[in-house]
Amino acid sequence: MRTLEVPYWIVGVFIVVIVILAAPFIAFHWVNVRELSPQTVQQAVMIMGLCLTFQWPTSFYTGALMGLQRQVLLNVLNSVMATFRGLGAVIVLWLVSPTVLAFFSWQILSSALQTGLIAFFLWRNLPKAPDSPHFRGDLLLNIWRFAAGVTGITVMATLLTQTDKIILSRMLPLKTFGYYTLASTVAMTLYRFFGPVFSAVYPRFTNLIALRDEEGIKALYHKSAQLVSVIVLPAAIVLALFSKEILLLWTQDAATAENTYLLVSLLVIGTALNGLMNIPYALQLASGWTSLAFCVNIVSVAVLVPLMIMLTKLFGTPGAASVWVILNGGYVLFAIQLMHRRLLRREMRRWYLDDVGLPLGAALIGAGLGRWLISNQMPTLLLLMSLVVILAWTMFGSVLAAPQIREWFCNRILRIKVTYHGA
């Protein structure tokens, strides 16, 4: 543990040094801000760098807890800290200081506390060792290739999810950039749907691969992929088709909804496609194969920058949001084929058809029917209830369309029925 923990913190310190050194250039020459002074922006950027330093090791501690099969504990910690972070930010802005610096200062405290808590519970759940934890260079030499691959993937993934904001902060006025950031925040909520599935499946893949249980790997791969589709696709499609109505219900601001809904639809579609790749990625990691994801991410970053600049100049923020759809569509169309040339070679067609295609088709039909029935002139409460019903029937249709999830669902219903009649 300590052997891998130390390099993660070293990288975190390196991040904050780079951000602090770059802060003057970002504040005075990069971002397009009129409402704040360059000095305030510089301080905010430096505080964000400190925040990133505390957030960086979180992925390491999170992965270790996942490996210990403590997903429930991890989800509880993440939920509590997400509430603490969001609610605390509101209180700070309301009662302490309604400034950018106050907001990001609270983010530092929240990030440090979250990382500290996850690290604390991780060390508590580790088996007792005869010696005190210490750094061992020989262990690092044995696993450096895999560790470097995972670190490289993490760095590239961070670049992929943040480069758009770096580019757009330069190209767009602050207000327009704010709409894009809001849309991105909404789309990122989908990660809370499929993230727990990845956390549960990854250590099970590792165990099955160690046992060389090929049939078990296939069964888990398809069942978990269908579960992700059933959870993510209905929510994403409903959110994409009803983005304007949902934003209006949430923000109560017609201008915000009008300027953001198309961005939300595009970014949600891209994030849903990204979510579909989580189970294949878990299988790659469990197999010790990091080079594919790393190379794909490098190519994606290389494509992202010029494509983002070009489409933003041509189409504005919708062009920028469409890049996320294009990249993740490429993963689903091409990266999955590269993976199945090496892992589960005969299972690709089943992934496309059973795991993704059937639940997707059912979700499109259910949500599309709802879109046809819904009127824009509905009262607020009726609209909210209608959206809940549409999401429920769309998800139910996807459950029935996914073969393994349908079988599990029917078995659960029969078991409940037998238990009820037996009582």
Report d(CA 342, CA 365) in Å as an integer. Answer: 34
Residue written as token pair 């960086």? 56
Q: Is the pLDDT of residue 376 over 90?
A: no
Report the interhelical angle of 278-286 vs 291-315 (nearest 10°): 150
> Does residue 391 register a pLDDT over 90?
yes
Token pair belonging to 53: 């330093």
pLDDT score for 237: 96
**Model confidence at 218: pLDDT above 90:** yes
Q: What is the pLDDT of residue 136?
A: 64
Q: Does the pLDDT at position 423 exceed 60?
A: no
Q: Does the pLDDT value for residue 323 go beyond 80?
A: yes
Q: How far is CA 407 from CA 100, 210, 223, in A?
A: 51, 28, 10
Torsion of CA 330, 336, 337, 339, to 10 degrees: 130
pLDDT at 35 over 70: no
pLDDT band of residue 3 (cuts 50, 70, 90) is low
In a domain, 168, yes or no: no
Q: What percent of the chain stands above pLDDT 70?
A: 92
Which pLDDT belongs to residue 279? Answer: 96
Mean pLDDT of 51-67: 80
Contact 19, 64 (CB under 8 A): no
CB contact at 8 A, 199 and 285: no
Residue 100 within a domain: yes
* Mean confidence (pLDDT) of the chain: 86
Give yes or no for residue 250 having a pLDDT over 70: yes
Mean pLDDT value across residues 100-114: 85
Q: Is 378 left (phi over 0), alpha (psi -120 to 50) or beta?
A: beta
Is pLDDT above 80 for 138? no
Residue 396: pLDDT above 90? yes
189 has pLDDT over 80: yes
Is residue 111 included in any domain, yes or no? Answer: yes
- Can you tell me the mean pLDDT for 210-222? 94
| Residue 20: band (very low, low, confident or very high) from pLDDT cuts 50, 70, 90 | confident
- Rounded distance between C-alpha atoms, residue 6 and residue 300, angstroms: 29
CB atoms within 10 A of CB 348: 16
Confidence tier at 332 by pLDDT (50, 70, 90): very high
Residue with the two structure tokens 């062009």: 319
In a domain, 117, yes or no: yes
Identify the band that residue 13 occupies on the pLDDT scale cut at 50, 70 and 90: confident
* 44 within some domain: yes
What is the domain range of residue 10? Answer: 1-126
- Looking at residue 141, its pLDDT comes to 62
pTM: 0.81
Contact 305, 327 (CB under 8 A): no
Average pLDDT over residues 257-271: 95
For the chain, give the percent of residues with pLDDT over 90: 39
User: Which pLDDT score, from 0 to 100, does residue 422 have?
Assistant: 59
* pLDDT band, very low/low/confident/very high, at 65 (cuts 50, 70, 90): confident
Cα angle 248, 250, 251 (rounded to 5 degrees) comes to: 70
Answer yes or no: is pLDDT of 180 > 70: yes
The per-residue pLDDT for 134 is 62
- pLDDT band per the 50, 70, 90 thresholds, residue 144: low
Q: Are 241 and 376 a contacting pair, CB within 8 Å?
A: no
pLDDT greater at residue 199 or residue 280: 280
Residue 9 inside a domain? The answer is yes
In a domain, 85, yes or no: yes
Number of domains in the chain: 1
241 is a domain residue: no
Contact 232, 194 (CB under 8 A): yes
